[in-house]
């Protein structure tokens, strides 16, 4: 019979992860129904044989590289707990920085917002949880992702309409005050695709051409038709893509171009507004 602490200690030794203790505690919390803090408050508590067996089985999946979010079937994002599965990207904390940046913009009451490539629905749902009066649409090309985002909206009781759409092609005709996307942006052949959680995520949510910018180029070219005068585009991108994204935006007539950083201090997203008509009037009202 092992104590919780001994079980966790042995588990950490077996895990080849950046966060072994956290991973082991999350799995043990799932098995026991106890909080992570209780393992510190009561390290000598003993698990039943059944609990120990279940824990070992989950640990084996993690040792095999499966993401914690897939094993648990959920991931925290913003203030929400989202269901996840292998049909979408697992929401990353860095994407919360886009949510913060959007909330800092001076958008009109009842703002119309579109989240393209929504995956779990993370960005759209986080915005909906903060701004009940915004009209938020989300879209994804993958039917499984659409089902998942709808399930999350339903479970959280947040009013986000989710469409199956290949970027803009399947959307109802309307304009938006803001379009946000965390598109695929990894270079095909990037060596980090063969390491860590991304091995278990769909390539369609990760990879975008030789330089990782194919989808970003498309979105920058297509978005103006879907934006009100002075409407915003907010794009997540790779830590080393800020200058390239700003250059594409500038060449395409966008204004107020600005790159923001993630929690690690890396360039992670770029915002810009599109002035229609060249009047220089970029007021989104």
Interaction residues for ligand GLN, span 99-138 (CB under 6 A): none
Of the pair 23, 236, the CB lying nearest ligand GLN is at 236
185 binds ligand GLN (CB under 6 A): yes
Q: Rank residues 55 and 185 by Cβ distance to ligand GLN and give the closer one.
A: 185
| Using rule CB under 6 A, residue 182 touches ligand GLN | yes
Rank residues 174 and 195 by Cβ distance to ligand GLN and give the closer one. 195
**Cα 178 to chain centroid, rounded:** 17
| Token pair 């585009």 in the structure block, residue | 233
Q: Which residues lie below 8 Å from residue 195, measured CB to CB, with a gap of 6+?
A: none
Q: Based on CB atoms, which residue is closest to ligand GLN, 186 or 271?
A: 186
Minimum distance of ligand GLN from residue 182's CB (angstroms) = 5
For 46-148, strand residue ranges (E) read 74-77, 80-83, 112-116, 135-140
DSSP secondary structure letters along 142-154: -HHHHHHHHHHHH
Binding flag, residue 198, ligand GLN (CB under 6 A): yes
- Encoded one letter per residue, x for contact with ligand GLN by CB under 6 A and - for no contact, window 17-46 reads ------------------------------
* Contact set for ligand GLN, span 63-92 (CB under 6 A): 89, 92
Residue of 6, 35, 23 lying closest to 63 (CA atoms)? 23
Given 91, 121, 184, 275, the residue binding ligand GLN (CB under 6 A): 184
Site membership for ligand GLN, residue 186 (CB under 6 A): yes
What are the angstrom distances between the C-alpha of 264 and each of 67, 93, 101, 239?
21, 10, 16, 10
Taking the alpha carbons of 172, 177, 181, 185 in that order, is the dihedral positive or negative? Answer: positive
Cα dist. 104→99, 145, 228, 236 in Å?
9, 28, 19, 16
Question: Among 24-32, 55-63, 77-85, 181-189, which window interacts with ligand GLN (CB under 6 A)?
Answer: 181-189
Footprint on this chain of ligand GLN (rule: CB under 6 A): 89, 92, 182, 184-186, 198, 206, 236
């Amino acid at each position: 019979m092992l104590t919780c602490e001994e079980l966790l200690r042995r588990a950490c030794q077996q895990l080849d992860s950046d966060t072994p203790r956290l991973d082991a505690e999350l799995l043990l919390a799932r098995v026991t129904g106890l909080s992570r803090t209780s393992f510190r408050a009561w390290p000598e508590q003993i698990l039943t044989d059944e609990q120990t067996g279940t824990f070992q089985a989950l640990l084996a999946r993690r040792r095999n590289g499966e993401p914690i979010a897939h094993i648990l079937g959920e991931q925290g994002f913003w203030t929400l707990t989202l269901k996840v599965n292998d049909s979408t990207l697992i929401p990353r904390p860095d994407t919360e920085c886009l949510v913060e940046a959007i909330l800092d913009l001076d958008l009109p009451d009842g703002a119309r917002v579109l989240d393209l490539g929504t995956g779990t629905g993370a960005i759209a749902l986080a915005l909906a949880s903060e701004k009940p009066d915004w009209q938020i649409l989300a879209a994804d090309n993958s039917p499984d992702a659409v089902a998942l985002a709808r399930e999350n909206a339903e479970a959280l009781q947040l009013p986000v309409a989710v469409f199956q759409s290949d970027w803009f092609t399947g959307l109802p005709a309307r304009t938006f005050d803001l379009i946000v996307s965390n598109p695929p942006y990894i270079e095909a052949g990037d060596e980090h695709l063969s390491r860590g959680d991304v091995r278990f995520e769909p390539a369609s949510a990760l990879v975008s051409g030789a330089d990782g910018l194919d989808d970003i180029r498309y979105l920058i070219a297509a978005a103006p038709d879907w934006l009100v005068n002075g409407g915003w585009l907010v794009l997540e991108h790779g830590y080393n893509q800020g200058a390239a994204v700003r250059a594409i935006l500038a060449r395409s007539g966008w204004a107020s171009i600005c790159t923001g950083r993630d929690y690690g201090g890396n360039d992670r997203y770029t915002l810009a507004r599109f002035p229609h008509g060249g009047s220089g009037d970029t007021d989104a009202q």
